[in-house]
Amino acid sequence: MNQVIQPFDSAKFNFTKVNPEEVIFAFEEAQNDSEKYFDNVPHAVAYSPSAILINVSPIGYCHVLLIPRIQDCLSQRVDKESFLLAMYVAREARNPFFRVGYNSLGGFATINHLHFQAYYLKVQLQYPVEKAPMEKLTTVGNGVSIIQLVDYPVSGFVFEGGACLEDLSDVVSKVCIFMQENNRPFNVLISESGKRVSLLPQVLH
Protein backbone atom coordinates (compact mmCIF):
# COMPACT_ATOMS: atom_id res chain seq x y z
CA MET A 1 0.00 0.00 0.00
CA ASN A 2 1.79 3.14 -1.19
CA GLN A 3 -1.09 5.47 -2.06
CA VAL A 4 -3.79 6.81 0.26
CA ILE A 5 -5.99 7.74 -2.71
CA GLN A 6 -6.67 4.94 -5.18
CA PRO A 7 -9.36 4.54 -7.85
CA PHE A 8 -12.35 2.35 -7.09
CA ASP A 9 -11.98 -1.12 -8.62
CA SER A 10 -15.32 -2.82 -9.22
CA ALA A 11 -13.57 -6.16 -9.81
CA LYS A 12 -12.50 -6.28 -6.17
CA PHE A 13 -14.80 -6.83 -3.20
CA ASN A 14 -17.00 -3.85 -2.42
CA PHE A 15 -20.14 -3.29 -0.41
CA THR A 16 -22.51 -3.56 -3.37
CA LYS A 17 -21.64 -7.28 -3.32
CA VAL A 18 -22.72 -8.04 0.26
CA ASN A 19 -25.48 -10.49 1.03
CA PRO A 20 -28.84 -8.63 1.22
CA GLU A 21 -29.32 -10.03 4.73
CA GLU A 22 -26.34 -7.94 5.86
CA VAL A 23 -28.16 -4.68 5.05
CA ILE A 24 -29.79 -3.38 8.24
CA PHE A 25 -31.35 -0.35 6.54
CA ALA A 26 -30.75 2.25 3.85
CA PHE A 27 -31.59 5.93 4.05
CA GLU A 28 -31.44 9.15 2.07
CA GLU A 29 -32.02 12.82 2.72
CA ALA A 30 -35.64 13.92 2.44
CA GLN A 31 -36.50 16.94 0.33
CA ASN A 32 -38.68 18.60 2.97
CA ASP A 33 -37.10 17.39 6.24
CA SER A 34 -39.94 14.91 6.73
CA GLU A 35 -39.32 11.46 8.19
CA LYS A 36 -40.83 8.37 6.60
CA TYR A 37 -40.14 4.66 7.00
CA PHE A 38 -40.68 2.11 4.26
CA ASP A 39 -40.29 -1.62 4.74
CA ASN A 40 -38.78 -3.75 1.95
CA VAL A 41 -38.40 -0.88 -0.52
CA PRO A 42 -36.45 -1.87 -3.66
CA HIS A 43 -33.05 -0.23 -4.05
CA ALA A 44 -34.26 1.42 -7.25
CA VAL A 45 -36.51 3.73 -5.22
CA ALA A 46 -33.43 5.56 -3.96
CA TYR A 47 -30.84 5.99 -6.70
CA SER A 48 -27.93 5.66 -4.29
CA PRO A 49 -28.97 5.57 -0.65
CA SER A 50 -26.54 5.48 2.22
CA ALA A 51 -26.61 2.19 4.07
CA ILE A 52 -25.96 0.66 7.47
CA LEU A 53 -24.55 -2.86 7.14
CA ILE A 54 -23.77 -5.62 9.59
CA ASN A 55 -20.04 -5.96 10.19
CA VAL A 56 -19.34 -9.65 9.70
CA SER A 57 -16.07 -9.28 11.66
CA PRO A 58 -17.17 -7.14 14.62
CA ILE A 59 -14.78 -5.85 17.26
CA GLY A 60 -17.49 -4.62 19.63
CA TYR A 61 -21.16 -4.45 20.51
CA CYS A 62 -23.43 -3.47 17.61
CA HIS A 63 -20.46 -3.01 15.29
CA VAL A 64 -21.84 -1.83 11.95
CA LEU A 65 -20.62 -0.17 8.77
CA LEU A 66 -21.85 3.14 7.39
CA ILE A 67 -21.61 3.29 3.60
CA PRO A 68 -22.33 6.75 2.13
CA ARG A 69 -24.20 6.62 -1.20
CA ILE A 70 -23.45 2.94 -1.57
CA GLN A 71 -24.32 2.62 -5.27
CA ASP A 72 -22.01 5.49 -6.23
CA CYS A 73 -19.05 3.19 -5.47
CA LEU A 74 -16.95 5.93 -3.88
CA SER A 75 -13.34 5.07 -3.11
CA GLN A 76 -12.07 5.16 0.47
CA ARG A 77 -11.43 8.87 0.78
CA VAL A 78 -13.13 11.49 2.95
CA ASP A 79 -15.03 14.38 1.39
CA LYS A 80 -17.00 17.14 3.07
CA GLU A 81 -20.41 15.50 2.53
CA SER A 82 -19.47 12.00 3.64
CA PHE A 83 -17.77 13.21 6.80
CA LEU A 84 -20.76 15.35 7.71
CA LEU A 85 -22.97 12.27 7.26
CA ALA A 86 -20.78 10.35 9.72
CA MET A 87 -21.04 13.24 12.19
CA TYR A 88 -24.83 13.25 11.86
CA VAL A 89 -24.95 9.49 12.52
CA ALA A 90 -22.87 9.99 15.68
CA ARG A 91 -25.21 12.72 16.86
CA GLU A 92 -28.48 11.02 15.96
CA ALA A 93 -27.52 7.86 17.86
CA ARG A 94 -28.12 10.04 20.93
CA ASN A 95 -25.84 7.88 23.07
CA PRO A 96 -22.54 9.10 24.58
CA PHE A 97 -21.03 5.61 24.27
CA PHE A 98 -21.54 5.41 20.50
CA ARG A 99 -18.41 5.87 18.39
CA VAL A 100 -17.91 6.39 14.66
CA GLY A 101 -14.49 5.71 13.19
CA TYR A 102 -12.69 6.01 9.88
CA ASN A 103 -9.49 4.39 8.59
CA SER A 104 -7.87 5.66 5.42
CA LEU A 105 -6.09 3.43 2.95
CA GLY A 106 -2.64 2.91 4.43
CA GLY A 107 -4.23 3.48 7.84
CA PHE A 108 -5.66 -0.04 8.26
CA ALA A 109 -8.57 0.21 5.82
CA THR A 110 -8.70 -3.02 3.80
CA ILE A 111 -11.59 -2.26 1.41
CA ASN A 112 -11.39 0.58 -1.10
CA HIS A 113 -15.10 1.44 -0.93
CA LEU A 114 -15.97 4.45 1.23
CA HIS A 115 -17.07 3.30 4.67
CA PHE A 116 -17.05 4.28 8.32
CA GLN A 117 -17.12 1.97 11.35
CA ALA A 118 -19.66 2.48 14.14
CA TYR A 119 -20.24 0.70 17.45
CA TYR A 120 -20.97 1.12 21.14
CA LEU A 121 -18.14 1.20 23.64
CA LYS A 122 -18.93 -0.21 27.08
CA VAL A 123 -20.30 2.20 29.67
CA GLN A 124 -17.60 4.39 31.23
CA LEU A 125 -14.92 2.82 29.03
CA GLN A 126 -12.82 5.07 26.80
CA TYR A 127 -10.06 4.51 24.32
CA PRO A 128 -6.63 5.59 25.60
CA VAL A 129 -6.56 8.41 23.03
CA GLU A 130 -9.70 9.85 24.63
CA LYS A 131 -7.93 10.09 28.00
CA ALA A 132 -4.57 11.36 26.74
CA PRO A 133 -3.10 14.65 28.02
CA MET A 134 -3.76 17.51 25.62
CA GLU A 135 -2.55 21.01 24.85
CA LYS A 136 -4.62 23.54 22.94
CA LEU A 137 -2.97 24.85 19.79
CA THR A 138 -5.47 27.37 18.43
CA THR A 139 -9.09 28.25 17.81
CA VAL A 140 -10.13 28.85 14.22
CA GLY A 141 -12.62 31.47 13.06
CA ASN A 142 -15.75 29.38 13.49
CA GLY A 143 -14.92 28.59 17.12
CA VAL A 144 -13.45 25.13 16.60
CA SER A 145 -10.57 24.36 18.96
CA ILE A 146 -7.59 22.42 17.62
CA ILE A 147 -5.81 20.50 20.37
CA GLN A 148 -2.63 18.43 20.28
CA LEU A 149 -1.99 15.22 22.20
CA VAL A 150 1.04 15.49 24.51
CA ASP A 151 3.08 12.82 26.31
CA TYR A 152 1.39 10.18 24.19
CA PRO A 153 3.05 7.34 22.20
CA VAL A 154 1.82 8.67 18.84
CA SER A 155 1.07 12.12 17.47
CA GLY A 156 -2.55 13.15 17.26
CA PHE A 157 -5.04 15.96 17.34
CA VAL A 158 -8.46 16.60 18.86
CA PHE A 159 -11.09 18.93 17.44
CA GLU A 160 -13.91 20.34 19.58
CA GLY A 161 -16.37 23.22 19.64
CA GLY A 162 -17.81 25.33 16.88
CA ALA A 163 -21.19 27.03 16.76
CA CYS A 164 -22.77 23.90 15.29
CA LEU A 165 -21.99 20.36 14.18
CA GLU A 166 -21.39 21.55 10.63
CA ASP A 167 -18.62 23.92 11.79
CA LEU A 168 -16.71 21.11 13.49
CA SER A 169 -17.27 18.71 10.60
CA ASP A 170 -16.06 21.26 8.06
CA VAL A 171 -12.75 21.84 9.85
CA VAL A 172 -11.99 18.15 10.35
CA SER A 173 -12.95 17.17 6.81
CA LYS A 174 -10.62 19.86 5.41
CA VAL A 175 -7.75 18.42 7.46
CA CYS A 176 -8.59 14.90 6.26
CA ILE A 177 -8.69 16.04 2.64
CA PHE A 178 -5.34 17.83 3.04
CA MET A 179 -3.77 14.67 4.45
CA GLN A 180 -5.19 12.51 1.66
CA GLU A 181 -3.92 14.85 -1.02
CA ASN A 182 -0.47 14.72 0.59
CA ASN A 183 -0.53 10.91 0.74
CA ARG A 184 -0.63 10.77 4.55
CA PRO A 185 -2.77 7.98 6.03
CA PHE A 186 -4.80 8.60 9.18
CA ASN A 187 -7.47 7.38 11.56
CA VAL A 188 -10.46 9.31 12.90
CA LEU A 189 -12.62 8.69 15.97
CA ILE A 190 -15.87 10.63 16.42
CA SER A 191 -17.12 10.57 20.01
CA GLU A 192 -19.37 12.40 22.47
CA SER A 193 -22.27 12.38 20.01
CA GLY A 194 -20.27 14.26 17.40
CA LYS A 195 -18.91 16.92 19.76
CA ARG A 196 -15.34 15.64 19.70
CA VAL A 197 -13.16 14.25 16.91
CA SER A 198 -9.74 12.65 17.35
CA LEU A 199 -7.40 12.40 14.36
CA LEU A 200 -4.27 10.26 14.35
CA PRO A 201 -1.82 10.62 11.44
CA GLN A 202 -0.12 7.41 10.33
CA VAL A 203 2.92 6.52 8.22
CA LEU A 204 2.79 4.56 4.97
CA HIS A 205 4.67 1.27 5.15
Looking at the annotation, which residues are catalytic? 115
Q: Are 100 and 116 in contact (CB under 8 A)?
A: yes
Q: Are 90 and 194 in contact (CB under 8 A)?
A: yes
CA nearest neighbour of 18 among 62, 55, 43: 55
Integer Cα distance of 107 and 152 in angstroms: 19
Handedness of CA 121, 132, 117, 110 (dihedral sign): negative
End-to-end, the C-alpha distance of the chain in Å comes to 7
Integer Cα distance of 101 and 142 in angstroms: 24
